[in-house]
Amino acid sequence: MGVIGGILIIICFIFFWKSPEEKFRAKLKKNVDNQKSHFSEISLILTEGIYTVGIDFPAGKYILTAKENYGDVFTSDNVKNGINQTLGVGDKNIASEFNNLILEIGDTLTIDGELVLKLYSQRVNLVVVPREVMGQELNLIAGNYICGKDFIAGTYDIELIKNYGYITIREKKNVSNIKFRKYLGENIGELKDFKNCSIEIEEKLEISGGLEVKLTPSKSTYLYN
The pLDDT profile of the chain, 225 residues, written as one tens digit per residue, is 566 655 655 554 555 557 777 888 888 888 888 888 889 999 999 999 999 999 999 999 999 999 999 999 999 988 888 999 999 998 999 999 999 999 999 999 999 999 999 999 999 999 999 898 989 999 999 999 999 999 999 999 999 999 999 999 999 988 899 999 999 999 988 999 999 999 999 999 999 999 999 999 999 887 655
138 vs 141: CA distance, rounded Å? 10
Helical (H) or strand (E) element with 143: strand 143-146
- pTM (two decimals): 0.85
Out of 2.60.120.340, 1.10.1200.10, 3.40.50.261, 2.60.40.1190, the CATH code matching 33-125 is: 2.60.120.340
Determine the 3-state secondary structure of 6 from DSSP. Answer: helix
> Of all helices (H) and strands (E), which one includes residue 16?
helix 2-16
Looking at the chain, the domain(s) classified CATH 2.60.120.340 span: 33-125
User: What is the distance between the alpha carbons of residues 172 and 200, in angstroms, rounded to a whole number?
Assistant: 8
Element (H, E) at 165: strand 165-170
Amino acid at 148: G
Contacts with 74 (C-beta within 8 Å, 6 or more apart), sequence order: 82, 83, 84, 85, 109, 110, 112
Residue 197: per-residue pLDDT: 96
CA–CA gap between residue 181 and residue 186 (Å, rounded): 17
